[in-house]
Amino acid sequence: MSKAPRVVFGLSEISGRCITFISGSKTFNIAGLFTAIAFSENKEIMTKFSNALQNSGASDINLFGPIALTAAYKDGEEWLEQLLRTLLGNVNFVSEYINEKIPVLTMKIPDVTYLGWIDFRKMKLSDKELEHFLIHDAKLWLNMGYAFGKEGSGFYPLKLWLSAMHFKRGTETIGEGK
C-alpha cells in the first residue's frame, strides 16, 4: 500500500506502440458503470483501436459512466484517502493476527492491489486438502489461489476490501481450524 508514484510506462521506446487503459472501477467502486479511458501517443494506433471498437459493437457507453468517472477523479480524493486508510488497517490487522496466532502462515503486505496473498504452503497440504481444510475445518468458503494459475497454488487471495468484522471472524476461524 505504497504512496509511491506509479509509472504508466517506464520504457519510452515502446510507449508509441501501446495503448494505455485506465479506469476508476475498483478504486472508486464504479465497475458496474463499465467506463474506462484509453489513450496513446500514437494517433494511428488509436484510430485503429477506435475503428475496431466501433466494428465490434462494444463502443456504446453507459450514460452515467463518464459522469461518475469524472466526479470520482475530480472530487473523490477524500473518499480515496479513507479507502486507503481502511485497506491499510485491514492489511495490518490480518498480518499482525497471522504473525501472532498462526505463525505457520505468512502474508506479504501488498503494494498496489486489493488482494493480499496468504501463504499456506508451510502446512504442506495439496490444493484440494487446503480447500477441504478451509471449508470444513475453518468453515470458510474462499476462492483458492490455484484458480489464478499454478503460481497461486498453496495461497489464498484475501480480499482486502472486506469489513474489519469479516477479517476478525475469518482469521479467527482459520486459527481455530489449524
List the single range of 24-38, 127-141, 154-168 with lowest mean pLDDT.
154-168
pLDDT surpassing 80 at residue 118: yes
Mean pLDDT of 158-178: 69
Same domain, 50 and 110: no
Q: What is the pLDDT of residues 11-57, one digit of tens each?
A: 677 878 889 888 888 888 888 888 889 999 899 999 999 999 889 88
pLDDT given at position 10 = 58
**Total of domains in the chain:** 2
What is the C-alpha separation between 145 and 131, in angstroms, rounded? Answer: 10
Domain hosting 112: range is: 83-177
Q: What is the pLDDT of residue 113?
A: 73
Are 91 and 162 part of one and the same domain? yes
- What pLDDT, on a 0 to 100 scale, did the predictor assign at position 14? 81
Q: Is the pLDDT of residue 164 over 90?
A: no
Of the candidate ranges 76-80, 153-157, 174-178, the one whose mean pLDDT is the lowest = 174-178
Domain boundary among 75, 99, 122: 75
Collapsing DSSP states into helix, strand and coil, what is residue 37?
strand
DSSP letter assigned to residue 178? -
**Residue 71 and residue 89 share a domain:** no
Average pLDDT in the chain: 84
Higher pLDDT, 116 or 45: 45
Same domain assignment for residues 172 and 88: yes
Nearest to 25 by CA among 72, 59, 86: 72
pLDDT at position 8 over 60: no
Taking the whole predicted model, whether its pTM rises above 0.85 is answered as: no
Torsion of CA 168, 149, 129, 94, to 10 degrees: -20
Q: Poorest-confidence range of 6-10, 97-101, 139-143? A: 6-10
Q: How confident is the model at residue 71 (pLDDT cuts 50, 70, 90)?
A: very high
Query: Do residues 112 and 171 share a domain?
Result: yes
Q: Is residue 43 part of a domain?
A: yes
Alpha-carbon distance of 98 to 104, in angstroms, equals: 8
